[in-house]
Structure 1
Amino acid sequence: MRVVVTSESRFARTRDGAIWTVHGPGATFFARYLTAFDEVRVVARVAEVATPPPDAVRVDADGISVWPAPHYLGPAQYLRRRAAVVASVRASAGDRDAVILRAPTVFGAALAQRCLRHGRPYALEVVSDPYDVFAPGAVRHPARPFLRARETARLRTLCRHAAAVAYVTEHQLQRRYPPGPRTRSTHYSSIHLPPAAFVAEPRPVRRAAGVPLLVSVGALEQPYKGIDTLLHALARLGPDLPVRLVHVGDGRCRPDLERLCRRLGLAGRVTFAGTLPAGPAVRHHLDQADLFVMPSRTEGLPKALVEAMARGLPAVGTTVGGIPELLAAEDLVPPDDPDRLAGALRAMLGDPDRMARAGARNHARAAGFDERALAGRRADFYRWVREAAERPADGTPGPRRREPVGERRPVPETAAGPTPTTPPRALP
């Protein structure tokens, strides 16, 4: 059986037909679906290019193909090309295919609507929160408030009518986007941490003799990662606590951040290392640092933070997405608050014993994200989705509920809504 997986990533296709990605998931990621399915078809936006982008990895491989949806950037282009995008996405799956939507998803809702109309089940993997993605400061667009309301409502509807939903968080996303009364639900992370990602022992107490080194990691295509907030916090630390920062990641926001560094007098203390290949290159920066900082405005369950925790690194993060499920409450601050962030950095860096305790706690928490611990739960979910897709269509939104995959938490009736008996007219 084939599974059709929608992705909001943007891919590139070279003249030889190969599909490439820089910031999105590659073939290694999509191969996980082959544990339960014979073939994977990935539906994503694809742009034509002459040569592969620098640092790109292949997406297509044996058993993994890409269905190219029309490429667009931003809401304005989407509206202009919406008819072609929707038609392409709806045509990507046949009546015998299983369907898994990686959500939030704009064009994936069109495929979900097609499934509902034909009495076919679809499943979701909820990987981030549109309420945070479109929060003030995270996106600079005049339609941001509308997009926030629409995409939040859309994801709630998708979860309510799905046959099965897997969340990357244990609790956070489930509270805002509860599954329907008949929906199978579980949780597992999309993070892949091989054994080499972990240090053997937590860090001992380290009393820095020189200037403390901070590290942050994240793409700079959008202001999502809150690095501007971090720069303002560093400026507030003042000369009595000089620190250095290395940021790993690149994107179109980088020139603005470099100008902000110069304006704040931080140019000599902040290094933008650019995009680095995953693995040893990133771990080198983590191992050199004294503290990891994640000042994000939006997150699902952040891989970069878990990777830092696996190195025994203490961390300070914001109260968005799944970060509160990873860090202790004392290590959290609100997003977009440079004063609170500066205070948290000062308190952490000024207490080496606290840093050692935080590093040990983080190291122990990261152990739960070993690939071997997650693979079984994920494979069980995919097998259930396959079994649901193999059942004859009965005109209802999904198969009848059986014993849950993983942990099923009770959902208040007011949050879950009525039990669906017929497909809704439209998804928002």
Structure 2
Amino acid sequence: MIFFHGHKFINKNGKYYTSGSLNNGVFQRYLNWFGEVTVFANERYATKEHAKLINDNNEVTNVNLDLINTKVNLRNFITVIRKVKKAVNNHDYIVVRMPSFYGIVAVRYAKKMNRKYLIEVVGCPWDAFWNHSLKGKIIAPFMWLFTRKTLKDAPYAVYVTNEFLQSRYPTKGKSIGCSDVVLPRLEKGTLEKRIEKINLLEKGKPIIIGTTAAVNVRYKGQEYVIKAVSKLNKEGHNFEYHLAGGGDNQYLKSVAKEYGVEDKVVFLGALPHDKVFEYLDNIDIYIQPSKQEGLPRALVEAMSRGCPSLGSKTGGIPELLNKELIFNNGSVDEICDLLGNMDKKMILAEAKRSFEKAKEFDSQLLGQKRNHFYKIFAEGARVSND
């Protein structure tokens, strides 16, 4: 089997590490059904910024990697397409994770070569490109159209949402809604510690808001929270904003300086995944202000730690949250209204709600659902190929 995605694996001294969630555990899903798995994706060389992210836990060791260096440009466009074609031809089963240019091309050749294929839909290409840049706004309509066309006839599709992505990119084939989030088993003690933390909140002490996301990606929306913190604190509140995430933070620092909250905005940089939960346990409220998401892992992880959470009306975020705690994309005023009205009673109620909702993402339950669907795909593909 071959898996296509635009993920960027970090190359350090010839060893490869995931820069996100595509780790050995995820690839084991495919190894359960296919004897050998190759991953077709991107490669970038390790920088100082990656130092915190590279450890034995995220080294990729159980699959073959067929990687393209991220410096590949339009001059290599035809070469890349030929490489995708060859990769499809050399494998019996095709899985693509979208949005992905490689995925669109791979499906095209899979259909021509009569290969059975499965598509995983983890995000909306329209939102991703439209909110990225001016260049992205030019690309967005094409990626939206190609993705819809690619999904339409897909024989098998897995969506990370229950409604949002299915409505934008429907398929006529077999499909399920199954989050890609993998949570450790939720312990009752986690909620008890959260409740204790809330009960110890003191008037006059800062309430800490948190977001886990890359700080150099504008569509993650942290700038709107910074502006909201400035407005709220001028009105007499006391909020701090702690941001966990890698990337160049100069733009967000400039926003904090412009709005007079440099001392209230803390940049923690990229955190190893095992440290993210410690960070979440230290904040009081989690916010997902993104303009583009599928079903955000970071939000689900925050909810699993009992974090009272609010978020934008984007992607699958409204499927997770109390509808009273959802705001329109980029609306500073709405963020201010929601945060300003969150008293201790509401924070406590939302902490309990978050923890209960996160139980739906129990790794064992989702694993069984996903495993059953991949069994159907694997057995169906074998029958067809035979």
TM-score (norm 1): 0.83
**Residue equivalent to 1:110:** 105
Which residue of structure 1 aligns with residue 161 of structure 2?
169
Structure 1 residue aligned with 2:19: 22
The match for 2:309 among 301, 308, 315 is 315
Q: Deviations over 1:108-142 (max 9, x none)?
A: 1111111111222211010011121123xx312x3
Look up the equivalent residue of 2:70 and give its one-letter code.
H
Post-superposition Cα deviations, 1:321-380, rounded to whole Å, max 9, x if no partner, equal 1100000110100111111111111112xx211111111111110001111111111111
Aligned residue for 1:184? 174
Supply the distance in 1 between the matched residues of 2:188 and 2:67 (Cα, whole angstroms).
37
Aligned residue among 238, 246, 252 for 1:250: 246
Structure 2 residue matching 1:391: 3-state secondary structure: helix
Aligned to 1:229: 224
SS in 2 for 1:39: coil
CA-CA distance at 1:273 after TM superposition? 0.6
In structure 1, the partner of 2:61 is 61
Per-residue deviation, 1:70: 4.4
Q: Which moved more, 1:359-368 or 1:236-245?
A: 236-245
- Is 1:120 the counterpart of 2:115? The answer is yes
**Residues 196/56 of structure 1: CA separation in 2 closer, same or farther (3 Å cut):** farther
Q: Is the 8 A contact 2:233 2:239 kept in 1?
A: no
Aligned partner of 1:383 in structure 2 is: 375
Letter in 2 for 1:374: L
8 Å contact 1:225–1:295 — kept in the other structure? yes
Corresponding residue SS for 1:299: coil
**Aligned equivalent of 1:299:** 293
Distance 2:233 2:161 in 1: 37
Cα distance in 1 between the residues matched to 2:31 and 2:209? 39
2:94 is aligned to 99
Does the 8 A contact of 1:104 with 1:129 survive in 2? yes
**1:288/1:44 CA distance change after superposition, 3 Å:** same
1:45 maps to 2:42: yes
Q: 1:155 aligns with which of 144, 147, 159?
A: 147
Higher mean Cα deviation, 22-31 or 82-91?
22-31
1:268–1:47 CA distance, 2 compared to 1 (3 A): closer
Superposition deviation, residue 244 in structure 1: 0.9
Equivalent residue, structure 1, for 2:6: 8
Question: 1:194-233 residue pairs with structure 2 within 5 A?
Answer: 194-195=184-185, 199-201=189-191, 203-204=194-195, 206=199, 207-209=201-203, 210-233=205-228
1:134 alignment partner, SS class: helix
| Alignment CA distance shift 1:276-1:34 (3 Å) | same
Contact conserved, 2:92 with 2:115, CA < 8 A, in 1?
no
Assess if the C-alpha contact under 8 Å between 2:216 and 2:251 holds in 1. no
2:360 to 360, 364, 368: 368
Q: How does 1:347-426 map to 2 (within 5 A)?
A: 347-348=341-342, 351-393=343-385
* Cα distance, 1:308 vs structure 2: 1.0
RMSD, matched Cα = 2.2
Closer, same or farther in 2 for the Cα pair 1:211/1:392, shift >3 Å? closer
Amino acid at match of 1:40: V
Question: Secondary structure of 1:238's partner?
Answer: helix
- Report the Cα distance in structure 2 between the residues aligned to 1:197 and 1:304, rounded to whole angstroms: 18
Per the alignment, residue 329 of structure 1 pairs with 323
SS in 2 for 1:122: strand
CA distance in structure 2 between the aligned counterparts of 1:52 and 1:211, rounded to whole angstroms: 30
Q: Secondary structure at the match of 1:189?
A: coil
Distance (whole Å) between structure 1 residues aligned to residue 308 and residue 46 of structure 2: 41
Using the TM superposition, give the Cα deviation of residue 14 of structure 1 relative to its aligned residue in structure 2, in angstroms: 4.3
* Matched position secondary structure for 2:238: coil
When structure 1 is superposed on structure 2, of 154-163 and 385-394 the one drifting more is 385-394
* Distance in 2, Cα, partners of 1:288 & 1:46: 34
2:304 and 2:18 map into 1 onto residues whose CA distance is: 26
Going from structure 1 to structure 2, the CA distance change for 1:13 and 1:151 (only over 3 Å counts) comes to same
Aligned match of 1:32 in 29, 32, 45?
29
Distance (whole Å) between structure 2 residues aligned to residue 81 and residue 232 of structure 1: 42
CA distance in 1 between counterparts of 2:266 and 2:189 reads 25
Instruction: Name the stretch that deviates more: 311-320 or 237-246.
Output: 237-246
Which protein has the bigger helix share? Answer: 2
Deviation at 1:80, TM superposition (A): 2.9
Q: Which runs of 5+ in 2 are unaligned?
A: none
> Structure 2 length normalisation: TM-score?
0.91
Q: Distance in 2 between matches of 1:335 and 1:316?
A: 12
- Residue 101 of structure 2 aligns to a residue in which SS? coil
- State how far apart, in whole Å, the 1-side matches of 2:178 and 2:242 are: 30
Superposed CA deviations along residues 41-61 of structure 1, whole A, max 9, x for unmatched, are 110012456999412255531
Instruction: Tell me the SS of whatever aligns to 1:392.
Output: helix
Structure of greater relative contact order (alpha carbons < 8 Å, 6+ residues apart): 1
* CA spacing shift, 1:107–1:299, aligned 2, 3 Å: same
Count the aligned residue pairs: 377
Residue identity over aligned pairs, in percent, reads 27
| Deviation, structure 1 residue 391 | 2.5
| 1:75-96 alpha-carbon deviations (Å, 9 max, x no partner) | xx64332111111112123365
Query: Which residue matches 1:133?
Result: 128
Cα distance in structure 2, aligned partners of 1:377 and 1:87: 35
Whether contact under 8 Å (1:221, 1:250) holds in the other structure is yes
CA distance in 1 between counterparts of 2:123 and 2:289 reads 16
